């Protein structure tokens, strides 16, 4: 299994993975729209020996109180059913975090299962007085600090880019 940054030829295989991994096509359409709008900050793939994408993590810009703070959101994260339970999701997340850190990003936000993401060092956004516009997400909204001062003197609303409002 090779874990690397996505390249153009991965798009169709990523689309297939997302369509297989989720109950609707919303995540596949979201990634396609992010890519078309130039809002895909980073895509990390896990490929088999034939180049088939078996895991994917997408990162796109988010704002804090409508201001760019060099924060990104993780969504979606997908692992093919045939290789689940082998730690591939963890490897994708860590590879993404390492790459984003190298590029100087300050924080990563995720809206997902708190038990799953706290294992990687994510913590509740609510404890930093951070929230998003969607109701009932207090437990699911998690943040990960890349820069030491990422959460100093910050509170307010984390905003996702427009494509997230369409799906």
Instruction: Report the CATH number at residue 106.
Output: 3.40.630.30
29 in any annotated domain: yes
165 in any annotated domain: no
Q: What is the pLDDT of residue 20?
A: 97
71 in any annotated domain: yes
Tally of domains within the chain: 1
Q: What is the pLDDT of residue 167?
A: 63
Residue 150 belongs to domain spanning? 2-160
Three-class secondary structure of residue 157 per DSSP: strand
- Condensed to tens digits (0 to 9), the pLDDT of residues 31-78 reads 999 999 999 999 999 999 999 999 999 999 999 999 999 999 999 999
Low-confidence stretches of the chain (pLDDT < 70) are 167
123 in any annotated domain: yes
167 in any annotated domain: no
166 in any annotated domain: no
C-beta of residue 34 within 8 angstroms of C-beta of residue 163: yes
């Amino acid at each position: 299994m090779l874990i690397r940054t996505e390249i153009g030829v991965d798009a169709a295989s990523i689309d297939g993975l997302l369509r297989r991994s989720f109950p609707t096509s919303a995540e596949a359409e979201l990634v396609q729209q992010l890519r078309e709008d130039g809002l895909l900050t980073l895509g990390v793939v896990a490929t088999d020996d034939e180049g088939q994408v078996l895991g994917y993590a997408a990162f796109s810009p988010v704002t804090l109180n409508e201001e760019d703070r060099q924060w990104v959101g993780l969504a979606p994260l997908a692992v093919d059913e045939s290789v689940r339970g082998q730690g591939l999701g963890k490897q994708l997340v860590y590879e993404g975090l390492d790459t984003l850190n190298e590029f100087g990003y300050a924080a990563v936000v995720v809206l997902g299962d708190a038990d799953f993401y706290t294992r990687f060092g994510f913590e509740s956004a609510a404890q930093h007085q951070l929230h998003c516009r969607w109701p009932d997400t207090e437990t699911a909204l998690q943040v990960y600090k890349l820069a030491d001062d990422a959460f100093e003197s910050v509170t307010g609303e984390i905003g996702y880019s427009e494509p997230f409002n369409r799906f």
